[in-house]
Structure 1
């Protein structure tokens, strides 16, 4: 299998992609891009016209968006066991897309100071921030991992959002979230990925 190229910045969602690459044991090279610099140059815009990171190139194919990268790598490296089993697919897809939709949208809007007016909650895909937090809290209070009882790629994507959200104050610090984040932070791949990104940030 050909080597993967990761386009990232250590102060970005690219940390999610690196964590996933470490989880699957991929052979990859890292290219650090700069905001308002190399992210906006034609060479990278040809890979991701959004001019944002992360992106990966694998077998000549570009994959962008963190949820897509996590799902793609889980399928591309089946021996890592991070793709869902047939019995897990409902929960896996439900929460992967919950993370990419209601969770990220509600957290982003709240951090920008935008609160959906109560009379407009039917229009917003997530309703309101508290409803999103309550929904995720209820699930993680009953399940050790997003897809049930074992770690999958969905935990990389959703778990990273919970971990960072609590660190930066954009996420409620609830007991279920803290316990979940602690389990994920103990994973060797998470520790390796964090060290690599911290080193890259210090060198920038």
Structure 2
């Protein structure tokens, strides 16, 4: 039943990453579109996510927020989709780079967009060190194999691939050959095309 899996989102949000993951999983789900402001800060939605932001999912009464967590949860909950890590070697890279994107990459890119410059002597305090060192590490990871955890597409590629795709599109991540080749591989997924069409149509309807 679709109401067993409820997806809270907005087509102009990181909910697009979760939409992609949901389309990869193939399980039926109900979409609830929330507008910025009143909807996301409503008392009803704050019981789902006290942060008052999307995306979020509710599955059988269990709430999951944060995109990386949602992707990992869906991969494990719907194993028939084949998107979870299977071997110890896959799990090592799967979790390593998914959380790298959620932590160091997110922080480094955000600070760069905001114009925050960390002095050399303070790099130890920010965890990620520097924007360049983060990109160097990630470039090595996406260039080592076809996908982030090896030669097989997993949920980690939904998350890491989305970050890199958006970063290249909007200029917050510098163009590198390894990034562009990796993004082209993940963008070939039919589920991504379906998810993009759904969210683009929703976005057009809200503007109309």
* Bucket of the pairwise TM-score, normalised by the shorter protein: over 0.9
| Structure 1 Cα separation of the partners of residues 8 and 29 of structure 2 | 10
Q: CA deviation at 1:3?
A: 2.9
Secondary structure, counterpart of 1:53 in structure 2: coil
The within-5 A match list for 1:160-179 is 160-179=162-181
Match of 2:202 in 1: 200
Deviations 1:40-83 (CA, angstroms, capped at 9, x unpaired): 11110110000111000100011000000000000000000100
CA contact (8 A) 2:16 2:199 kept: yes
Deviation per residue, 1:128-162 (Å, 9 max, x gap) = 10000011111212211110111000000110000
More displaced stretch, 186-195 vs 141-150: 141-150
Aligned equivalents of 1:185 and 1:88: distance in 2? 21
**1-side partners of 2:16 and 2:49: how far apart?**
17
State the Cα deviation string for residues 153-203 of structure 1 (Å, max 9, x = none): 000011000000111110111111111111111110000001101111111
Shift, 1:37, TM fit: 2.1
Report Cα offsets for 1:68-105 as digits up to 9, x if no partner.
00000000000001000123111111111101100111
| Match runs of 1:28-177 below 5 Å | 28-86=29-87, 87-177=89-179
1:90 alignment partner, SS class:
helix
Structural mapping, 1:7-18, within 5 Å: 7-18=8-19
- Contiguous gaps of at least 5 residues in structure 1: none
Which ranges of 4 or more aligned residues in structure 1 deviate by more than 2 Å? none
8 Å Cα contact 2:101/2:160 also seen in 1:
yes
> How many angstroms apart in 2 are the aligned matches of 1:16 and 1:73?
12
How many corresponding residue pairs?
204
Partner Cα distance (2:58, 2:19) in 1: 13
**Cα distance in 2 for residues equivalent to 1:139 and 1:69:** 22
Taking structure 1 as the reference length, the TM-score comes to 0.97
**1:180 and 2:145 correspond:** no
